[in-house]
A and B are shown apart, each in its own frame.
Chain A
Amino acid sequence: DAGITQSPRHKVTETGTPVTLRCHQTENHRYMYWYRQDPGHGLRLIHYSYGVKDTDKGEVSDGYSVSRSKTEDFLLTLESATSSQTSVYFCAISETGQYEKLFFGSGTQLSVL
């Protein structure tokens, strides 16, 4: 999947615990994104980054934070996981922020019990 590694691939956690998902890219692309995929909703943007330490909110950012200290790494943190955050999380990258295609990682299946 285009030099994008997401970790972990699967995680089960309890309500109220913090969770961090990692996205690592080897493409040196400037833009990185976190999406969540839920049945009937397609993909919804959580946060995105347009450079090191430059991030912004997406459509469904409540309860999530992100950090990007290096070009290749984009971390998504659930400060206090809730059952509504059970989902499949996808990282994506793009070289510019315009109309070229996105490249996606293989996803992280997160279950919050």
Chain B
Amino acid sequence: AQSVAQPEDQVNVAEGNPLTVKCTYSVSGNPYLFWYVQYPNRGLQFLLKYITGDNLVKGSYGFEAEFNKSQTSFHLKKPSALVSDSALYFCAVRLPGYSSASKIIFGSGTRLSIRP
């Protein structure tokens, strides 16, 4: 079955340290990959996407993600964490071969907590 996994329910990082939120996927073909962030009592907000091209994608708020086809991963990274980065992060994959966003699968989410 096609799926996307976020293996860590929670990630704790000290402010100023680098952070990584992990995402792996299992789909056939070349997927489109996304990261979204959710702040308390808000809807999800788009951070970045990978469609094709450079494996390192830069997005909003200083985040970037690295696409690794051989490891089927799309990890979210930031060189220096801020307390304001504390939120719930979702990885999502749009299945290839479909023209509709109905074929987007979301991971279960990772809660990122940045301590001062």
Contacts and interface: CB of A to CB of B under 8 A. Distances in A.
Interface residues of A, number: 27
Interface in B74-116: 90, 94, 99-102, 104, 106-109
Contacts of A90: 43-44
Contacts of B49: 99, 101
Nearest to A33: B101
Given A90-B44, A99-B49, A102-B44, A42 B102 contact: no
Given A101-B49, A102-B101, A41 B41 contact: no
Interface in A38-73: 40-45, 48, 50, 56, 58
B94 A45 contact: no
B45 interface: yes
A101 B92 CA distance: 11
B102 A104 contact: no
A98 B43 contact: no
A104 B45 contact: yes
Contacts of B102: 33, 45, 48, 56, 58, 97
Nearest to A90: B43
Contacts of A105: 43
Interface string B32-53: 1010100001111110010100
Given A42-B108, A50-B100, 11 more contacts: A1-B43, A4-B43, A31-B101, A41-B108, A45-B102, A90-B44, A98-B100, A101-B34, A102-B104, A105-B43, A107-B41
